[in-house]
Amino acid sequence: MSKLIIEGARRLKGEINIQGAKNSILPILAASLVTRAECVIHNCPIISDVKNTLKILEHLGCVVKFQENTVIVNSENITKNSIPNVLMREMRSSIIFLGALISSVGSAEISLPGGCELGPRPIDMHIEGLRQLGLRIDESHGILECGNEDGLEGCNISLSFPSVGATENLIIASVKARGTTVINNIAKEPEIMDLIAFLNSSGAKIESQGEGTLVIEGVKALHGTEYTIIPDRIAAVTYMSAAAVTVGDLLLKNVVKEHIGAVIPVFEEAGCTIESDTENSLRIIAPTRPYFNRIVRTMPYPGFPTDAQAPVMAMSCLADGTSVFVENIFTNRYKHVGELLRFGADIKVEGRVAIVEGVKRLFGAEVTAMDLRGAAALVVAGLGAEGTTKISGLSHIDRGYENLENNLESVGASIKRV
Ligand code: EPU
């Protein structure tokens, strides 16, 4: 079993190029099925979730080529409408293939998706919206068998919560539905806007209409396209947290500042200087010791992202002050807390609330990553801790971070995979 070995408390200084967004590329790869043509997608991160998604596309009959960070998917000859359980279980985003297969070939047979265990992750909103579009869905023993011989019919859908995945599934399912689909209370994450831009560049007609509403005019067919994925805002926040615990000075290239608009003030209040120019880069200069004395509430975008909660919490462990985290999106997203305690952190959890009393020093520890962002938090803690940290459970990191240890090593960290 491989481990990351970190010798902590070394100052990080230098430049890191931020990867393309995991949560953009996954739904966009699924949506490429609907084009039934060749899509060239740039800035694709090389991570295991992408590799697994490409396996699903190949299984369905697509021809896939991966050259550096560009992926080319040709979906002209789809041969199957079903995805085996073993591929579905690898990640949560596989559920987006439901909408994509329906839009592409009119039917789908898939099992329930896997993904990080962050509490119950039902798909009721996906199912309800798809049924409103006219999809027949039969569920038995965790297998969904779906279709509609006459095609889907545009309608008015209101989501009870702005679910990222449900919004994506319904957008993809309705781009070729007859007539007009209106989706209210959509998720507004930058990755959703990226999916919409990708689909529109392939011939879809999706328009925002006011706050949280999308109007989709169904088209007969999409066409191939060439598209570049947005940068990964959570990877950017992870490196910012790493800088903050190491008196660091990092220039992060390929960052869209607006995408982390709710996070930047948190770092500024902690005493970090944030500089940015017009070329999509951001420099973070950390104080000798951060100060963290605030409440962080995770919210749907444009609020503070749940995915940033764990790495920012790791940073707050080593700051002066008391901070309170309120996790409003997932019910079980504090699994990193037990591991952070092994570094000597002072954290108490009560339901959705975690209270962090900053400590003067963290000490290297042997810890296990239990989910993707929790893994990132352990890396941040290890970088800030004195002595040696050993992190296992690296498959979680590999799901979402491209070149994490190389990037950190290039700016002065002592981090090795053994
Ligand atoms: N929910 C329901 N019913 C549904 C759908 C969602 O109750 O039908 C609940 C979920 O259980 C959860 C909340 O709504 O409590 C939010 O779920 P959402 O659907 O918005 O999230 P998701 O699509 O499952 C995506 C990202 C997550 C990110 C969340 C929130 C991808 C592949 N995953 O998940 O990313 O945390 O949105 O922003 O895009 C990560 O990158 O580490 C990650 C977990």
Residue 402 has a pLDDT of 98
Atom 31 in ligand 1: which residue has the minimum CA distance? 23
- 164 C-alpha to ligand 1 centroid (Å): 6
* Ligand 1 midpoint to CA 152 (Å): 25
pTM for this entry = 0.97
Please tell me the predicted confidence (pLDDT) of residue 197. Answer: 98
User: Judging by DSSP bridges, how do beta strands 353-357 and 346-350 pair with one another?
Assistant: antiparallel
Residue 280: Cβ-neighbour burial (10 angstroms; 0-12, 13-18, 19+): middle
Q: 378 φ, ψ to 5°?
A: -70, -35
* C-alpha span between 44 and 25 (Å, rounded): 7
- Give the tokens for residue 223: 């066409």
Task: Give pLDDT, residue 117.
Answer: 64
Residue 90, both tokens: 């690898």
Q: How far apart are CA 322 and CA 319, in angstroms?
A: 8
The residues facing 253 across adjacent strands are 17, 281
Domains and CATH numbers, the chain: 4-19+231-417 (3.65.10.10), 22-228 (3.65.10.10)
- Among protein residues, the one with the nearest Cα to ligand 1's atom 4 is 123
pLDDT number for residue 230: 98
**Three-state secondary structure call for residue 59:** helix
Residue of the nearest CA to atom 6 in ligand 1?
163
> Which of 22, 329, 402 best tests ligand 1's pocket when mutated (most atoms within 8 Å of CB)?
329
**Ligand 1 pocket, residue 170 CB under 6 Å:** no
CA nearest neighbour of 266 among 303, 231, 301, 232: 303
Partners of 267 in beta bridges:
none
Residue 336 has φ and ψ, to the nearest 5°, of: -75, -20
| Mutational pocket test of ligand 1: of 93, 161, 172, the residue with most ligand atoms within 8 Å of the beta carbon | 161
151 vs 233: CA distance, rounded Å: 37
Active site residue 39: no
Ligand 1 midpoint to CA 329 (Å):
8
C-alpha–C-alpha distance, residues 73 and 147, integer Å: 24
418 residues of the chain, pLDDT tens digit each:
899 999 999 999 999 999 999 999 999 999 999 999 999 999 999 999 999 999 999 999 999 999 999 999 999 999 999 999 899 888 888 899 999 999 999 999 998 876 556 666 789 999 999 999 999 999 888 889 999 989 999 999 999 999 999 999 999 999 999 999 999 999 999 999 999 999 999 999 999 998 899 999 999 999 999 999 999 999 999 999 999 999 999 999 999 999 999 999 999 999 999 998 767 999 999 999 999 889 999 999 999 999 999 999 999 999 999 999 999 999 989 999 999 999 999 999 999 999 999 999 999 999 999 999 999 999 999 999 999 999 999 999 999 999 999 999 999 999 999 9
- Whether 233 lines ligand 1, by a CB cut-off of 6 Å, is no
**Per annotation, catalytic residue among 39, 62, 116, 317:** 116
Give counts: helices (H), strands (E), the chain. 14, 23
**121 within ligand 1 shell (Cβ under 6 A):** yes
Residue 67 CA to residue 44 CA, distance in Å, equals 10
What span, in angstroms and rounded, lies between the C-alpha atoms of 86 and 351?
33
Residue 139: predicted pLDDT: 86
> What is the residue with the minimal CA distance to atom 21 of ligand 1?
164
C-alpha angle 18/21/24, rounded to 5°? 165
| Ligand 1 site, residue 306, Cβ cutoff 6 A | yes
Residue 342 burial (CB count, 10 A): 18
- Which atom, in ligand 1's list, is nearest to the CA of 167? 19
Helices (H), 60-208: 85-88, 96-105, 124-132, 164-174, 190-201
296 close to 309: Cβ distance less than 8 angstroms: yes
Does the Cβ of 28 fall within 6 Å of ligand 1?
A: no
Q: What is the largest CA-CA distance in the chain?
A: 65
95 lines ligand 1 (CB under 6 A): no
Distance CA 337, CA 318 (A): 14
Choosing from 19, 22, 23 the residue with most ligand 1 atoms within 8 A of its CB, the one to mutate for a pocket test is 23
Q: How far apart are CA 83 and CA 55, in angstroms?
A: 10
| Protein residue closest via CA to atom 10 of ligand 1 | 121
Going from the Cα of 306 to the center of ligand 1, the distance in angstroms, rounded, reads 9
H or E stretch including 395?
Answer: helix 394-400
For 386-409, b/e burial (b = at least 16 CB within 10 A) is eeebebbbbebbbbbbbebbebbe
Contact 104, 36 (CB under 8 A): yes
**Angstrom distance (rounded) from CA 23 to CA 21:** 5
Strand partners of residue 77: none
Q: Is 126 in the pocket of ligand 1 (CB under 6 A)?
A: yes
Q: Is 92 in the pocket of ligand 1 (CB under 6 A)?
A: yes
Establish whether residue 125 lines the binding site of ligand 1, counting it when its CB lies within 6 angstroms of any ligand atom: yes
pLDDT the model gives residue 113: 77
Is residue 26 in contact with ligand 1, taking CB distance under 6 Å? yes
For 299-369, where are the alpha helices, taking DSSP H only? Answer: 306-317, 335-341
CB 333 less than 6 A from any atom of ligand 1: no
